[in-house]
Structure 1
Amino acid sequence: MQPRTVALVALLVVAAVAPTAGLAAAQADDASSVQESCSFPYSATDATGTEVTLEEDPERVVTLNPSAAQTMWEIGARDEVVGVSQYASYLEGADGKANVSGESGPSVERVLAADPDLVLVPNSTYGLAEDRIEQIRDQGVPVFVFGAGTSLEYVANKTERIGRLTGNCEGGQRTADDIRESVSLMREVLADEEKPVGLNVFYGYTSGENTFIGDVMTTAGLRNGAAEAGISGFGQINDETVVEMNPAWIVAPEGAPIPDNDAYRSTTAIREDNVVRVDENNLQQAAPRSVDAAETVMRSVHPEAFEEYRSMKQQSNETETTVEMTVETTGSTGQPTDAATTEETGTGAPGFGVAASVVALLGASLLARRR
């Protein structure tokens, strides 16, 4: 096993065991309240129960885990990131950011040297290095710790929260809405499909109940065999359970070996070569690209439903593009307006009347297609 993979597995496992027991399983982020205003000062309570106050819009953000970094990239705020962990190197442009990783966790010295206005800390990092996180906090640097990811809805809420914390509310909301829409469409087209049993496997561990990877699988049209077997969180799975479960599909990160023994060879998944390999950066991180992981699984398990989903998604995107073009070229009364006027009125007002009409017409068409 490669050192990078060992560490990533450790982060996932730590997310579900004793060191993080004091963290909220998933923060109760109210999407509407998060996006009410993007002004500062802004205060929010993190998963440790600490009230974090940001006096000004942070311009220098350090992310201590690749999931937080990926989220910043996806909401269009990568330029504000000044420090990332070594495991975020897969992100385009990450090599131009300071590496704040140290031995067995973040380096306090490197984090402080990046002069951050805000440090984003996923729960796995806090569980591995609570003392270091508190040292950073003791220097007066705002630190926000997230709870454990349990679902794709949690990922959407976390995305909104990061957008609000960093003053990127529009990007956070847009990305979160896209996550929710994708999940909704997948579930819609899969509603009447038979759901075979699936098993997530990575180096002797699996994703049980209350895990975002489990939700990725069920959203993609599988039953989570580990959850049905009574496994909660990220836990080990033995061969006897695998035999009893007899998964029809196995979902694993790219590069992770599938055990080559009698137990696994007896399963329908191995006998029929039903193994779905998913990009580890999409599957293993509670971040926006986990939707891509669900799409990868769905494409293999339910190819016809996936094509229907993709068509609906494309039509929805075309609708959104049409509405955006309408908003850019009309005012609230439907009259043409210049860019300055649109900017001054904010994101909710320009072109509302015309945009609503466009949404209604195209929405009716989309609904008819779905039926």
Structure 2
Amino acid sequence: MRRFAVLLLAGIAVAHAGTPQRIVSLSPHATELLFSVGAGDRVVAVSESCDFPEAARRLPKVSGYRGTNIEAVIALKPDLVVAWPGGNRAADLDALRRLGVRVYESELNTLGSILAEARHFSEWAGDDDSRRTAMRLAGEATAQIIALQRRYGDSKRVKVFYQLGAGRLFTLSDRHVVGEALSVCGAENVFGRLPLPAPEVSSEAVLAAKPDAVLVADPGSLAAVREQWKSARLFDARVADARVLGVDGARLHRPTLRTFAAVQTLCESIDRVRQTLR
């Protein structure tokens, strides 16, 4: 089992000269982290998918699924653009760099990297209080994950299929932060070793994997997914509903400080399944 304390040491923070005064954030997770550590007042624009906190919703939107509006970004005269390589077009980021805009790429795929990024972003807030707040929040999250790991990490392993929603069967592998969260909770991701972060699998593959539980990342799809696996007879009819559970995918998938509370709830859900396997 991977140990969180080790991962925490592998933070991805990269130092930049100078404290940015005008930040454009093109990533929902970066926007949320910036506000969490006191640098939100320096954010002058965001992407369309930046919906938390409420203050971020009121900022100009300069990016969306069609790409980034380069002219709109330049007009805001940012001294830093925070981008997400997995969600922003490389061509757009290259264009910004060619125009002299400093671009910082934030790609977080471990719990430790979330905390390292929070600490790094707090340096951009430009005051000691923000840095101390970030350190406190990071310390609390670290203690929380270590406690969960001690409580559940060496328990009976629960084999889980992590399903993103109803319909086509998309899941998350261990290349995504959810894979680490499942490990902390003492669960085995049955498709964790697949090479893509969000692969599509077949119902036959799920049946062959024989998971102990299905975790549904979209609670609104829970009823449909339960019917889906009842029809496929994945579980005995007497326990089928108890083995298909809804989890907080919105917080688990977006790597921010809110992710850690979602991991605790995830562990509790998995442990309820564990109790039925004894």
Q: Give TM class, smaller chain.
A: 0.7 to 0.9
Cα 1:264–1:163 change in 2 (3 A) is farther
Match of 1:194 among 141, 145, 156: 156
1:155, distance to aligned residue in structure 2 (A): 1.8
CA gap of 1:262–1:303, structure 2 versus 1, over 3 A, is closer
Listed one character per residue, the Cα deviations across residues 129-160 of structure 1 (whole Å, up to 9, x for unaligned) are 1111111222222110123x332122222222
| Displacement after TM superposition at 1:106 (Å) | 2.2
Residue 187 to residue 27, structure 1, CA distance change in 2 (3 Å): closer
CA distance in 1, matches of 2:39, 2:29: 14
Q: CA 1:77–1:259 in 2, change beyond 3 Å: closer, same or farther?
A: same
The residue type paired with residue 163 of structure 1 is S
* DSSP 3-state at the match of 1:178: helix
Q: Of 103, 109, 112, which residue of structure 2 is paired with 1:150?
A: 109
| 8 Å CA contact 2:32, 2:52 repeated in 1 | no
Structure 1 length-normalised TM? 0.61
Indicate the structure whose relative CO is greater, using CA pairs within 8 Å and at least 6 residues apart. Answer: 2
Unaligned runs of 5+ in 1: 1-25, 35-42, 45-52, 306-371
Conserved 8 A contact 1:155-1:287: yes
Q: What SS class does the counterpart of residue 120 from structure 1 fall into? A: strand
Partner of 2:5: none
- What is aligned with 2:198? 234
Specify the code of the residue in structure 2 equivalent to 1:248: D
What secondary structure sits across from 1:250 in the alignment?
strand
SS of 2:257's partner is coil
TM-score w.r.t. the length of structure 2 is 0.79
Matched, 1:108 2:73: no
Q: Which residue of 2 aligns with 1:185?
A: 147
Q: What residue is the counterpart of 1:137 in the other structure?
A: 97
Q: Deviations along 1:16-48, whole A, 9 cap, x unmatched?
A: xxxxxxxxxx99537xxx6xxxxxxxx73xxxx
Deviation at 1:291, TM superposition (A): 1.1
Counterpart of 1:319 in structure 2 is none
Which stretch shows the higher mean deviation, 157-166 or 104-113?
A: 157-166
Q: Aligned partners of 2:263, 2:246: CA distance in 1, in Å?
A: 11
Q: After superposition, where does 1:1-371 map in structure 2 within 5 Å? A: 29=11, 44=15, 53-54=16-17, 56-102=18-64, 104-126=66-88, 129-147=89-107, 149-167=108-126, 168-203=130-165, 204-227=169-192, 230=194, 232-254=196-218, 255-256=220-221, 258=225, 260-261=227-228, 265-268=232-235, 271-302=240-271
Cα distance in 2 for residues equivalent to 1:110 and 1:171? 33
Give the direction of change, closer, same or farther, for the CA distance of 1:112–1:276 in structure 2 (3 Å limit).
Answer: farther
Q: Are the counterparts in 2 of residues 190 and 221 from structure 1 also a CA contact under 8 Å?
A: yes
Q: Which residue of 1 aligns with 2:4?
A: none
* Structure 2 counterpart SS, 1:87: coil
CA contact (8 A) 1:265 1:271 kept: no
Secondary structure, counterpart of 1:276 in structure 2: strand
Instruction: Map Cα deviations across residues 286-318 of structure 1 (whole Å, 9 max, x no partner).
Output: 22222122122122222699xxxxxxxxxxxxx
| 1:151–1:212 CA contact under 8 A, matched in 2 | yes
- Once residues 90 and 265 of structure 1 are traced to their aligned partners in structure 2, the CA distance between those partners, rounded to angstroms, is 38
Q: What whole-Å deviation, never above 9, does each CA across 1:308-367 have from its counterpart, x for those lacking one?
A: xxxxxxxxxxxxxxxxxxxxxxxxxxxxxxxxxxxxxxxxxxxxxxxxxxxxxxxxxxxx
Q: CA separation in 1, counterparts of 2:179 and 2:57?
A: 31
Match of 1:335 in 2: none
Distance in 2, matches of 1:91 and 1:264, equals 40
Q: Which amino acid aligns with 2:11?
A: D
RMSD in angstroms over aligned alpha carbons?
A: 3.0
Q: Secondary structure in 2 aligned to 1:188? A: helix
Q: Which amino acid aligns with 1:267?
A: L
Contact 1:72 1:162 in 2 (8 A): yes
Q: 1:209 to 1:92 in 2, by over 3 A?
A: same
Contact in 1 for aligned 2:164/2:171 (Cα 8 Å): yes
Paired residue total: 256
Contact 1:196 1:221 in 2 (8 A): yes
Shifted more, 273-282 versus 234-243: the winner is 273-282
Task: State the alpha-carbon separation in 1 of the partners of residues 68 and 201 from structure 2.
Answer: 30
- Separation in structure 1 between the aligned mates of residue 9 and residue 62 of structure 2, nearest angstrom: 25
Unpaired runs of at least 5, structure 2: 1-7
Identity across matched positions, percent: 21
* Structure 2 CA distance for aligned equivalents of residues 268 and 103 of structure 1: 38
